[in-house]
Amino acid sequence: MDELEYCRTLRIETSTLQMWVEERWIIPVGSPDAFSYEDADVARGRLILDLIGSMGVNDAGIDVVIDLVDQLHSLRERMRLLMDAIATQDIAVQNALGRALNRG
């Protein structure tokens, strides 16, 4: 979706979106002339609005939350890749890894 559709969806001003992009809370794809926003950007925008509105989080707090969300998504992806790699191993290796994980 384009900038105007994004702003309409979240009911925000374009200046607000521009500030979010400058802060790197939202990272659109494309060039500044034709940025495009995806569903994940809408979800991030809703999170930002919740943090600002109902939770009263300041800009520094939003930076921390967005960074933690990004870390969580990165770790989930790494875990998925690890699980896929384990699934390709011999059953004995899978069982050994399972036992090792259950000890922790």
- pLDDT one-digit tens code per residue, 32-74: 788 999 999 999 999 999 999 999 999 999 999 999 999 999 9
pLDDT digits (tens, 9 = 90+) for 71-98: 999 999 999 999 999 999 999 999 999 8
What domains can you pick out in the chain, each with its CATH number?
3-103 (1.10.1660)
pTM for the model stands at 0.78
The pLDDT confidence band at residue 104, using thresholds 50, 70 and 90, is low
What gap in Å lies between CA 81 and CA 20, rounded to an integer?
31
pLDDT confidence of residue 34: 86
Range 34-54 burial, b when 16+ CB lie within 10 A, else e: ebebeeebbebbeebeebeee
Given this model, what pLDDT does residue 32 score? 79
Is residue 31 scored above 90 in pLDDT? no
Q: Which residues contact 27 (CB under 8 A, 6 or more apart)?
A: 21, 41
